A and B are shown apart, each in its own frame.
Chain A
Amino acid sequence: MADITELESLRWDLRQDCVDIIMAGGGGHIGGDMSVIDALMVLYENHLRITPATTTDPDRDRFVLSKGHAMEAYYTILCHEGFLDLADVEARFSKFGSPYIGHPNNKLPGIEMNSGSLGHGLPVAVGMALAARMDGRDYRSYVFMGDGELAEGSVWEGAMSGANYGLDNLCALVDRNRLQISGSTEDVMKQDSQESRWAAFGWNVISIPGNDLVALDDAFGLAAETKGKPTVIIANTTKGYGSPVMENKAAWHHKLPTADEYAQISADFKAHKEAGLNA
């Protein structure tokens, strides 16, 4: 269990690692990586019960990255937690013959399911939660989705069954950064209000500032305490969070930083980290 103060510092190091993976591979979904990486970090550091030694333990918690394009953030966390080697990922990400592709690859240690096509993760996580109940095991199933992803009908099929079966061992998180590749989610396909939509489907809804580590930590804790229904955390995040170069700019959905932009982004991360340390 990591102290939130430590995580406030760590998150900027992880962002730097993530951007370095993207630079090494020559591309990645940087905007969504930056919005969701805090939630990934808090989940893996403080809540998800899995280690590199327990990747096949039947009692391990399950995690599915349904917004699979945030893979560079996922690689970063998997490396930090010891599932993968950062130097190896940087050396081979997106390269010919590499297992480190742009979406989850469950041939790699620690990754449960492949994804990439949006809208798949929630039904899969529902199945995982059902399996836990059938076997009388207390592991929890987590799934992270993007907000643009919520336009997929299969998400709502999973929302129905998760509530229908009262799966309180299931926790979904929506990375509500309000941008998708074409622009604002509200311009592309209105998403507001996600809180009322999920509540109407019978879920316990926790809406938080999604780049607030304390709020994230508390939300995962509250979800675990909720009985009788699954929980969705609406994490109201900032796409590209961490540098004004890319924050809230749809063009940064998968933009590769120039050398100058990379330098500025790295400087911004460093400044954030130092400001936190001096606070």
Chain B
Amino acid sequence: MPNTIANRKAICDILLERAKTDKDIVVLCSDSRGSASLTPFFDAFPEQSVEAGIAEQDLVGMAAGLASCGKKAFAASPASFVSTRSYEQAKVDCAYSDTNVTLIGISGGVSYGALGMSHHSAQDIAAMSAIPNMRVYLPSDRFQTAALVNALLDDEKPAYVRVGRNAVPDVYAEGEVPFTMDKANVLCEGTDVTIVATGEMVRPALDAARLLGEKGVSATVLDMYCVKPLDAEAVVKAAKATKVVLSVEEHSPYGGLGSQVAQVVSENCPRLVRTLALPDAPVITGTSSEVFAHYGLDAAGIAASATELLARAEA
């Protein structure tokens, strides 16, 4: 039975649960409560909900003002808008002023499919990672999303979280999510290739490891939900134990997970590194799965890239 619960709904479920005993949780939306699956929160806790209208700068500025007064502010808006339209508010009002704001980028990456590049957020990891004191998280499934939101509610630092629009296959089982804040999860260990994946790319990366295994190639797969701060220790350990490193992300090839992985590997244990990502161009029209398959970001494509990379290393 495939999972039908989107990560955005998992966020709302945790916020609903925690708000029962925490009046300082405040959720803000920019005419996005429906698309963020946060309508139940607005209905249950209207006094802890703020509608900004279609005004992302105001959304993030208000969130920072609320947070400066002791609120745990969660501002949810499409990732394409909240990561760029209000980028300066994220930089100055959240990160620089060090306010307890969690920015939730919903329908991230190419989730909006045929709506086009205006609605895609293939630059958000790079943009947000470049801001000092801003953390960047891309949980891989609904269970990890829930664990992450719980952890973010217990700290007081700014963060950016990107989730997709649709339900994605589970990576973990209910009640069995290993979670240590800012530590990658090692999903399997091998000696040939390290695959570092984030967000919706983790499940296909894990499936790719199985395909590789059927061909006698052993792979380590890291679920790097914490793109910033990157779990460099896990990357170095895995890279040292394997021959090549492949990073996989639903993002531009510039400034995302791959750039950070390459930086860490090249400084600590040089290996051939390949960044598997979306192209530096408007992506082809299609659903997420169609787009991923087209650019080799599905299990078969990831396995093929790993095989090619390994062949180059061994040539």
Interface residues of A (CB under 8 A from B): 58, 62, 106, 112-117, 119-120, 122-132, 134-135, 141, 153-154, 157-158, 160-161, 164
Most buried by B among A114, A160, A164: A114
Shortest distance from the beta carbon of B98 to any chain A beta carbon, whole Å: 7
Q: Note all chain A residues with C-beta closer than 8 A to B23.
A: 134
Complex CA–CA separation, A120 to B57 (angstroms)? 8
Contact across chains for B65 and A125 when beta carbons are under 8 A apart: yes
| Among B46-54, B157-165, B256-264, the stretch in contact with A | B46-54
Complex CA–CA separation, A127 to B65 (angstroms)? 4
Residue of A nearest to B60 (CB): A123
Shortest distance from the beta carbon of B59 to any chain A beta carbon, whole Å: 8
Contact across chains for A161 and B89 when beta carbons are under 8 A apart: no
Q: Note all chain A residues with C-beta closer than 8 A to B202.
A: none
Q: Note all chain B residues with C-beta closer than 8 A to A157.
A: 52-53, 55, 57-58, 61
Shortest distance from the beta carbon of A244 to any chain B beta carbon, whole Å: 36
Q: A106-B97, A128-B69 are in contact. Are A154 and B57 (CB under 8 A)?
A: yes
Contact across chains for A126 and B68 when beta carbons are under 8 A apart: no
Contact across chains for B69 and A126 when beta carbons are under 8 A apart: no
Residue of B nearest to A58 (CB): B70
Shortest distance from the beta carbon of B107 to any chain A beta carbon, whole Å: 22
User: With an 8 A cutoff between CB atoms, is B293 at the interface?
Assistant: no
Q: Note all chain A residues with C-beta closer than 8 A to B57.
A: 119, 123, 153-154, 157
Complex CA–CA separation, A119 to B55 (angstroms)? 13
User: With an 8 A cutoff between CB atoms, is B64 at the interface?
Assistant: yes
Contact across chains for A114 and B92 when beta carbons are under 8 A apart: yes
Shortest distance from the beta carbon of A164 to any chain B beta carbon, whole Å: 8
Q: Note all chain A residues with C-beta closer than 8 A to B278.
A: none
Contact across chains for B58 and A123 when beta carbons are under 8 A apart: yes
Contact across chains for A127 and B61 when beta carbons are under 8 A apart: yes
Interface residues of B (CB under 8 A from A): 23, 26, 47-48, 50, 52-53, 55, 57-58, 60-71, 73, 88-89, 92-93, 96-99
Given contacts A120-B92, A134-B66, 4 further A-B contacts (CB under 8 A): A123-B57, A125-B65, A128-B66, A157-B57
Complex CA–CA separation, A141 to B66 (angstroms)? 11
Contact across chains for B47 and A134 when beta carbons are under 8 A apart: yes
Shortest distance from the beta carbon of A231 to any chain B beta carbon, whole Å: 17
Complex CA–CA separation, A212 to B277 (angstroms)? 61
Contact across chains for B64 and A113 when beta carbons are under 8 A apart: yes
Residue of A nearest to B48 (CB): A134
| B53, B68, B96, B98: the one within 8 Å of A127 (CB) | B68
Contact across chains for B63 and A114 when beta carbons are under 8 A apart: no
Contact across chains for A160 and B62 when beta carbons are under 8 A apart: no
Complex CA–CA separation, A62 to B48 (angstroms)? 20
Complex CA–CA separation, A62 to B67 (angstroms)? 13
Q: Note all chain A residues with C-beta closer than 8 A to B58.
A: 123, 126, 154, 157-158, 160-161
Q: Note all chain A residues with C-beta closer than 8 A to B63.
A: 127
Q: Note all chain A residues with C-beta closer than 8 A to B55.
A: 157, 160-161
Residue of B nearest to A127 (CB): B65
Residue of B nearest to A106 (CB): B97
Q: Note all chain B residues with C-beta closer than 8 A to A125.
A: 65
Contact across chains for A120 and B89 when beta carbons are under 8 A apart: yes
Q: Note all chain A residues with C-beta closer than 8 A to B67.
A: 127
Q: Note all chain A residues with C-beta closer than 8 A to B61.
A: 120, 122-124, 126-127, 154, 157-158
Q: Note all chain A residues with C-beta closer than 8 A to B98.
A: 106
| A62, A120, A141, A153: the one within 8 Å of B93 (CB) | A120
| B47, B60, B62, B69: the one within 8 Å of A161 (CB) | B62
24 contacts between A and B (CB under 8 A): A106-B97, A112-B68, A120-B93, A124-B62, A124-B68, A125-B65, A127-B62, A127-B65, A127-B66, A127-B73, A128-B65, A128-B66, A131-B68, A134-B23, A134-B26, A134-B71, A135-B69, A135-B70, A157-B52, A157-B58, A158-B62, A160-B55, A161-B62, A164-B53
| A113, A141, A160, A161: the one within 8 Å of B97 (CB) | A113
Complex CA–CA separation, A93 to B52 (angstroms)? 38
Q: Note all chain A residues with C-beta closer than 8 A to B93.
A: 113-114, 120, 123-124
Q: Note all chain A residues with C-beta closer than 8 A to B50.
A: 130
Complex CA–CA separation, A43 to B231 (angstroms)? 48
Q: Note all chain B residues with C-beta closer than 8 A to A153.
A: 57
Contact across chains for B97 and A114 when beta carbons are under 8 A apart: yes
| B69, B88, B89: the one within 8 Å of A62 (CB) | B69
Complex CA–CA separation, A128 to B58 (angstroms)? 12
Q: A127-B69, A134-B71, A160-B53 are in contact. Are A117 and B92 (CB under 8 A)?
A: yes
Most buried by B among A114, A127, A141, A157: A127
Q: Note all chain A residues with C-beta closer than 8 A to B53.
A: 157, 160-161, 164
Complex CA–CA separation, A124 to B28 (angstroms)? 13
Complex CA–CA separation, A157 to B85 (angstroms)? 13
Contact across chains for B64 and A127 when beta carbons are under 8 A apart: yes
| B26, B47, B52, B64: the one within 8 Å of A124 (CB) | B64
